Amino acid sequence: MPQYFFIIGAQKGGTTALFEYLRHHPQIYMPPEKEAEFFTEGEPTQQSWSAYRERFLTPGGQAQAVGTASPQYMCDASVPRRMAAIVPDARLIAVLRDPIARAVSHYKMCRRRGDERRNFTQAVEAQLEPGALDKPRSLPVHDVAERDAYVAWGEYARILDNFLAHFPREQLLILYSEDLRAKREETLRRACRHLGVDPDYAPPNLGREFHVGGMQRKIPGLEKFMRSFIVRGLLRLVMSKRRYKSLQLALERWNVKSGKLPVPAATCERLEAHYAGDAEAIGRLTGTPPPWFRYEKTGNTNY
């Protein structure tokens, strides 16, 4: 029986990069589609898990570790309970990014998609109103509008406490996305050791960056064209719904034009204060203070 594992998030935190690096490892099997969700799709059963495992987690060779990656898993409070009920021995990996940078990246994505018209400060202020965080903290991920979750989905200590209520601490590895970028080989070795596979393997794409952030498009209207009734219908004749979704996601990532967003200093200060206790708790969990809070450390407000 292979070691099952899940890269659980965070969204906009580097899960795509880790997925792309790990899936080349000869002792690891991951399906070609990164976000093949299971635990966000209602209450699981052993029968539905067996069907999912047969479809997505059946390697052709003798893989020692088999897993998937979905940043949605840290966005839904019901996932840890569901996951532990089905795969209690699973290994978990969380990749955490500066929560303010994560929120800005999330905001840029919603702006690109046309789902957000507010400026970043307006969006943050609305989400920090009393009671505004209750829904994105507690509702199933598919019932939450992403434009309402910039702040809540960066509250990592709260989210991981929920996982640790269902899994032993040693089954959860916490990585920082900043380390995945700056100390790539060392961070990848930590992930491999956590999964029980050869930590010295270097994937051929280790030097590649994934997911350049920005609010602009290289080709305006490309995603709208792909979602049009005629194009969608033609593509669905030759590929599954999941394949079509993967193609949409790949095109959206390719079509991003990089660019920084200046954030007002007052907004940076308010968010740093909101996340201060959370960052301290993550530091206690990892034994290493998170390399976050750009404005406090450098005065830089560009994200």
Task: Measure the CA–CA gap between 30 and 50, rounded to whole angstroms.
Answer: 16
Q: Assign 3-class secondary structure to 68-131.
A: EECHHHHCCCCHHHHHHHHCCCCEEEEEECCHHHHHHHHHHHHHHCCCCCCCHHHHHHHHCCCC
- Residue 4 pairs in a beta bridge with 66
- The rounded percent of the chain whose pLDDT value lies above 70 is 94
pLDDT grade for 298, boundaries at 50, 70 and 90: very high
pTM (2 decimals)? 0.87
Query: Shortest CA distance to 12 belongs to which of 95, 79, 131, 111?
Result: 95
Helices 265-286 & 99-112 angle (0-180, nearest 10): 120
Query: pLDDT tens for residues 168-212?
Result: 999 999 999 999 999 999 999 999 999 999 999 999 888 777 665
Q: What is the pLDDT of residue 100?
A: 97
pLDDT at 218: 72
Predicted confidence band of residue 213 (pLDDT cuts 50, 70, 90): low
Torsion (CA) 155, 30, 256, 290 in degrees, nearest 10: 30
According to DSSP, residue 259 is labeled: -
Find out whether 108 and 131 touch, Cβ atoms under 8 Å: no
Q: Are 43 and 127 in contact (CB under 8 A)?
A: no
Q: Within the chain, where are the H helices?
A: 15-22, 46-56, 79-86, 99-112, 120-127, 134-138, 156-164, 177-182, 184-195, 222-226, 229-238, 241-254, 265-286, 294-298
